[in-house]
Amino acid sequence: MSRGPDTSIRRERTGRVLVLLTAATFAGIDLVAKAASEVRLASSTVDLGLLQLQLAYNSGVAFSMGNRLPAGVIVAITAALVVVMTAYAWRWAPRAGLVERIAAGAVIGGALANVLDRARDGRVTDYLHTGWWPTFNLADTFLVCGSIVIVLVHARPEPATDTAISLTTDQGADPSV
């Protein structure tokens, strides 16, 4: 008598669902913030000290690169990148840890939110302004922070294997060898 899917299948499913739910949540948060910014910041700026809420639009990609390309080309390229990232995360998620899954969801969600926003009118709505950095949005923050976390997780040294540990802790081993 079977009690349900085995642990590996459950882990696979859970990992993938977590990445997709995280991506949807981050995309939703950003799209709501963009809609609110377009209404609330249309004729004003809010000064929060180091950060100002100020409405701006970007017809290019990062740092306005490609802003002379047709919007459809940028949407197609960035949408294809979102599909590739999602497919990669789908395969990778079952083996990833919790932090990696959330970071992958942040990257995918941020990219998806910007693609959906750009598909609407050919430009991305930005609303976070520092004065020393180009105006950006939460989706950009999710993308960058998620990418940094993934890089940091993969840059850490691998834990020692059982073989290496047994060689260094073997009572009979000659330390001069």
For residue 82, which phi and psi values (nearest 5 degrees)?
Answer: -65, -40
Amino acid at 22: T
State mean pLDDT over 125-150: 92
Q: Give the end-to-end CA distance of the chain in Å, rounded to a whole number.
A: 55
**pTM assigned to the model:** 0.77
Among the residue ranges 6-10, 56-60, 103-107, the one predicted with the least confidence is: 6-10
- With a cut of 80, say whether residue 70 has pLDDT above it: no
Cα 163–chain centre separation: 36
pLDDT bin (cut points 50, 70, 90) of residue 1 is very low
Sheet harboring 46-47: ordered strands across?
46-47, 52-58, 124-129
Rounded Cα–Cα distance for residues 136 and 44 (Å): 17
pLDDT bin (cut points 50, 70, 90) of residue 148 is very high
Amino acid at 63: F
Are 55 and 125 in contact by the 8 Å Cβ rule? The answer is: yes
Cα 56–chain centre separation: 22
pLDDT for 15: 83
Among the residue ranges 19-28, 33-42, 56-65, 76-85, the one predicted with the least confidence is: 56-65
Tokens of 16: 């993938």
From the number of C-beta atoms within 10 Å of its C-beta (0-12, 13-18, 19+), residue 60 rates as middle
Which residues carry out catalysis? 126, 140
Domain boundaries, the chain: 11-154
